[in-house]
Amino acid sequence: MKVLAVETATSWQSVAILDGSRVLARHDQDADGSHAKLLLPMIDRLFCETGLTLKQLDGLVVSIGPGSFTGLRVGLATLLGFRTISQLPLAVVPTLEGLAWNLRGTPDLLCPILNSRRGELYWALFRWTGDDRLERVVSEQVGTPVMLGNSLTGPVLVFGEGWTVEASAIRASIPPAVTMTETSDSAMRPSAVSIGLAGIERLRRGEHAGTGIGPLYIQRTAAELKYEESGGLSPVALRQERIARKVNARRAAVRVPSARARVTRERGTGGTSDGA
């Protein structure tokens, strides 16, 4: 099965043409916000290298997220356009799942990590089974490095661009019983080859993307972010705290004039006694 696979979920853009497990051509580069400008020329280059045309493929595969909003939209829109032109089936692969395919067959519990916005991270947990199937242990999550570290409960292999950036913060927050291991640099970045391999499995199972498909965006709600900023206090507790501060401030305002009046009276009394 020949497929064109596209990975644009991060600044690292990756494109590949595969024939089953064989890589016919691939190209990776740092797009850094220029996915719309670089993606089509990169695809054209692969078609030239392989001598293939779009109509000679059996399917299309694209990374669906989570990741960069702009990158995901560019990749998905491009392959949706190719699908319209060619009528080829399209498979979509979650980006963190694609990262787990970088370490196909690894017996360890896998925790791929990607950067999100505002210093947060995306992560999930996967495990390869004995029959070469990838099992999702924990679905896609988003949160701070501390939240990720606190969520781990046992031995795990961590990797991905998010780990590269936030390793020290994650290590500092893991429970004492948790052991973490790292992998080689080659597995750290999303790869169109891994996305393609995962997508071929989906296409063979008949899992084709529908007409209303969209990027997989995972973000915490504004309420969750506000809850964290409050130090873990509920809205009711925050309101009680505000009311208590206001009441205390009013009491303090009442006490200050009273104290001043008492001092004034004592001084006045003392002056009369001295005169006597």
Q: Tens digits of per-residue pLDDT, 40-79?
A: 999 999 999 999 999 999 999 999 999 999 999 999 999 9
Report domain 2-220's class: alpha beta
Mean pLDDT of 191-206: 98
At residue 52, the pLDDT reads 98
Higher-pLDDT residue of 37 and 264 is: 37
Decide if pLDDT at 204 tops 60. yes
**This prediction's pTM:** 0.79
CA separation (Å) from 180 to 41, 85, 204? Answer: 40, 46, 35
What secondary structure, in 3-state letters, does 156-204 show?
EEEECHHHHHHHHHHHHHCCCCCCEEECCHHHCCCCHHHHHHHHHHHHH
Q: Each residue of 228-242: pLDDT tens digit?
A: 555 555 555 555 566
- Domain map (residue ranges) of the chain: 2-220, 221-276
